[in-house]
Structure 1
Amino acid sequence: MSEFWPVRDALAYLAGSWRVARTVRDLASGAEGEFSGTTDFGRLDGGGLLHEESGTFRWQGVARPAERTLRFLPGPAPGTADVRFADGRPFHDLDLSTGRHVTDHPCSADLYRGEFSVLDAGRWRTVWRVGGPAKDLVLVTDYTRITG
């Protein structure tokens, strides 16, 4: 039995609502934070999904609201997607056809390396490692499908 769950259609798999739990660790300072909330993948006119995440981010004892919006557009094959920021700039590619994908996103002097793992029909995880002159972070996010 494989530890990853292959996905035939990435956009169909992601569609819907997910509970989100994220840990953020600053490897240089040892500081830790967490985000908890939800992500909704709703249909976009013309195809694709609008990813809307909202919740609470706690960093060094301070809680504040946090949100982000991404666009997941159809990729070249059903198991893939083209992920973009809300303003349309490219973010990263995504290929869930084997249940696991590694991608990079250069951002100024920093490099974001993301690993996506599909665990089953209702759970997936991302691990982003961020390195650069001013950043040394690991962000681990677990998604659990909200049913009913």
Structure 2
Amino acid sequence: MDEFRPVPDALAYLLGSWRVARSVRDRASGAEGRFTGVTVFGALDEGGLLHEESGTFVWLGVPRPAERTLRFLPGPTPGTADVRFADDRPFHDLDLRTGRHIADHPCSADLYRGEFTVRDADHWRTVWRVAGPAKDLSLTTDYARLG
């Protein structure tokens, strides 16, 4: 059985810089890719964190620069977060108080289901499974705290 580390405050835990290693697998075609880079969770003036990820995504042997920005805002319950895209559209909720959380994000006819697990003070993982008529993907991301 996996052991998870409870996190009383998701935003406090995530604050800082993380090394990122993500594997992407298209379960329909068998194609695989990999992203490596850094994610920085920096404080927002209005509260919450700005998540800025940048690095290199290699797909079918071709490397490309890749980046994304998310906003992690205080959630409705103390210690939780409301994750939003850069344009403020809702993405998912996040509650790490047990060290593990499952979140869903419907995207058109596809469903993204994410599992978030905290291993220790400096390591956590997300596993997104995307299923639907347009996509059949598995994305596993490991985060290791820098500094």
TM (norm. structure 2) is 0.98
Unaligned runs of 5+ in 1: none
2: CA distance between counterparts of 1:102 and 1:75? 15
Q: Do 1:40 and 1:52's aligned partners in 2 also have CA atoms closer than 8 Å?
A: yes
Question: Percent identity over the alignment?
Answer: 80
In 2, the alpha carbon distance for the partners of 1:135 and 1:69 equals: 22
> How far apart, CA to CA, are the structure 1 residues paired with 2:71 and 2:20?
17
Aligned equivalent of 1:20:
20
Counterparts of 2:33 and 2:2, CA distance in 1 = 31
Instruction: State how far apart, in whole Å, the 1-side matches of 2:127 and 2:134 are.
Output: 19
| Cross-structure match for 2:140 | 140
| Amino acid across the alignment from 1:80 | T
Structure 1 residue runs of 4+, over 3 Å off? none
Q: What CA distance in whole angstroms lies between the structure 2 residues aligned with 1:91 and 1:134?
A: 19
* Number of equivalent positions: 147
- Give the counterpart letter for 1:89 in structure 2: R
What does residue 61 of structure 1 align with? 61
The 2-side partners of 1:80 and 1:56 are apart by: 30
Gaps of 5+ in 2: none
- Tell me, in whole angstroms, the C-alpha distance in 2 between the residues paired with 1:110 and 1:116: 19
- Structure 1 Cα separation of the partners of residues 63 and 78 of structure 2: 39
Give how far 1:40 is off: 0.1
Matched to 2:79, the amino acid is G
Give the AA of the match of 1:13. Y
Q: Is the 8 A contact 1:128 1:140 kept in 2?
A: yes
Give, in angstroms, the shift of residue 2 of structure 1: 6.5
Structure 1 residue 77: deviation in Å? 2.6
Query: d(CA) in 2 for partners of 1:2 and 1:29?
Result: 30
Tell me how far apart the structure 2 counterparts of residues 130 and 2 of structure 1 sit (CA, whole Å): 23
Q: Deviations over 1:18-39 (max 9, x none)?
A: 0000000000000000000000
